[in-house]
Amino acid sequence: MKSPIEFFFSLGDKVTKGNPRRKADFDYYMLWIIFIAFLSVLIGNIYSFIITKELAKLGWGLVIFGILWFQYFSLKGSREARKYLKSIPKENKEEDNKIEGLKDMISGFNDLDKEKDGNK
């Protein structure tokens, strides 16, 4: 049986199945949901301030505005990451998910050493 911590951290793999492109899409859509939620709270606080003239509502509105500021740049970065992942050709995406074996890594270094010795 998995511990609660292992279960919690395995939830992301259930959604994205380890695919970086699916993760980028999921993150992008979740950031939009969070941005819209905070924007609705900001509008509600500003409306309440206009109606009741309570400074506490304006203060919370400013806090929410600060959160939205950082959320906007997270959303912008997530959009750029999605655009980059979509620009990668399909055959490279499959190769990026494969882990290179130890023998392949070592043979790559051996090939580099042979090239250096041949150039001398």
Is the pLDDT at 93 greater than 70, yes or no?
no
Q: Is residue 95 part of a domain?
A: no
Question: How many domains would you assign to the chain?
Answer: 1
**pLDDT at 90 exceeding the cut of 80:** no
CA distances from 90 to 18, 80, 83, 106, 116 (A): 16, 18, 14, 27, 33
Q: What is residue 6's predicted lDDT score, i.e. its pLDDT?
A: 85
- Provide the pLDDT for residue 99: 63
Within a 10 A sphere around the Cβ of 65, how many other Cβ atoms? 14
Q: What is the extent of the structural domain holding 52?
A: 15-88
Average pLDDT estimate for 59-82: 94
Q: Indicate whether 60 belongs to any domain.
A: yes
Among 36, 34, 60, residue whose Cα is nearest residue 47:
60
Q: What's the whole-number mean pLDDT along residues 61-72?
A: 96
The band of 18, judged by pLDDT with boundaries at 50, 70 and 90, is confident
The pTM of the full predicted model, rounded to 2 decimals, is 0.64
Angle at 37 between CA 60 and CA 46, to 5 degrees: 35
Q: How far apart are the first and last CA of the chain?
A: 59
